[in-house]
Amino acid sequence: MGIEQKQGKTIRGMYRTIIVISTLIIIIAIIGLYFFNNEESNSNDESYVDISDQNRDKIENGIHLRTGLIANKGLTTVINNCTSCHSAELIIQNRLTRDGWAQTIDWMQETQNLWDLGENEEIIIDYLVTNYPIRKKGRRSVLKNVEWYTLNK
């Protein structure tokens, strides 16, 4: 065997070793990444709020949890028509008369591209007046039958 042949063999041997080592490193890296990712997603799981389909329409204490709306007749119609542009919060924080709700809907139809509600309009307004009526009383009702006494100086 000549010197050049020997050298060629050694170089080929080195190449083979390098390739084997690189392959091993890549495999270890892939396995490592896999476990690392798994661990990461596992540890994050608990911090996510579960909004899987069966919980989407969960109702607790008469409140539809996802929207915060009162669970009552007409709820689904209201959710379908009234929560796609803004949150239900806008509805909850407003308390209006029948006319007031009708006008709000008219206003949205005229200026905010709210669609024609058709027969649903009555269902929706009924729901709104029943569950979010104007508060008749102020923070406390007016005192009645108070026996005032005169201050003697």
Beta carbon nearer to ligand HEC, 6 or 98: 98
Contact pick of 7, 76, 94, 97 for ligand HEC (by CB under 6 A): 94
The answer to the question of residue 112 lying near ligand HEC (CB under 6 A) is yes
82 lines the binding site for ligand HEC (CB under 6 A): yes
The b/e string for 5-44 (b: 16+ C-beta within 10 A; e otherwise) is eeeeeeeeeeeeeeeeeeeeeeeeeeeeeeeeeeeeeeee
Q: Which position among 70, 108, 126, 133 is part of the footprint of ligand HEC (CB under 6 A)? A: 108
Dihedrals phi, psi of 48, to nearest 5 degrees: -85, 140
CA–CA separation, 94 vs 99, rounded Å?
13
In angstroms, what is the minimal distance from the CB of 108 to ligand HEC?
4
Establish if 75 lies at the interface with ligand HEC (CB under 6 A). no
Site membership for ligand HEC, residue 113 (CB under 6 A): yes
Is residue 91 close enough to count as binding ligand HEC by CB under 6 A? yes
Task: Name the residue among 139, 136, 105 with its Cα closest to residue 122.
Answer: 105
Which of 84, 141, 145, 152 binds ligand HEC (CB under 6 A)? It is: 84
3-state helix/strand/coil string of 9-54: HHHHHHHHHHHHHHHHHHHHHHHHHHHHHHHHHHHHHCCCCCCCHH
- Nearest approach, Cβ of residue 112 and ligand HEC (Å): 4
**69 lines the binding site for ligand HEC (CB under 6 A):** no
Task: Please give the single-letter amino acid code of residue 96.
Answer: L
Residue entry with tokens 């307004």: 125
Which residues would be at the binding site for ligand HEC (CB under 6 A)?
81-82, 84-86, 90-91, 94, 104-105, 108, 112-114, 124, 128
